[in-house]
Amino acid sequence: MTSFGEYLRKIRLEHNLTLTQMGAKLSIDSANLSKIENGKRDFDEKKLAVLAKEFNIEINEIKKEFYSEKIARIIYKEEDAFDLLKIAEKKVKYLKSINVKQSKIEL
């Protein structure tokens, strides 16, 4: 398991890029990219599509890495984190069922 910053570092190293080179591809200066890789700064969500396109990675894979970390950071301090996840999973299913029903109505 890795952080999103470590995930970015892995991509960078797999492509044999320096911080400056990868930063240029993502329009991020190397100092900020270093902070992102080291978990001291958050990656800009708006750049996920650029990351996917530049490195030929499925956008859904990148989104899973990005959003799962955001969710984990929100709940990791909570005493009942696993219970929260179970409830959240049920709520996602509920929200999807509502969306399906609303889609059918709109048709």
Residue recorded with tokens 């890795």: 2
One domain for residues 22 and 63? yes
For residue range 36-57, list pLDDT tens digits in order.
999 999 999 999 999 999 999 9
Q: Residue 42: helix, strand or coil by DSSP?
A: coil
Look up the domain containing 25 and give its range: 1-75
Q: What would the pLDDT profile of 10-34 be if each residue is shown by its tens digit? A: 999 999 999 999 999 999 999 999 9
Q: Are residues 90 and 53 in the same domain?
A: no
Quick one: 82 and 67 in the same domain? no
> Are 47 and 85 part of one and the same domain?
no
Radius of gyration of the chain (CA): 17
User: How many domains does the chain divide into?
Assistant: 2
Q: Report the b/e string of 62-99 with b at 16+ CB within 10 A.
A: beebbeebeeeeeeeeeeeeeeeeeeeeeeeeeeeeee
Q: Of 2-11, 13-22, 52-61, 77-86, which gets the smallest average pLDDT?
A: 77-86
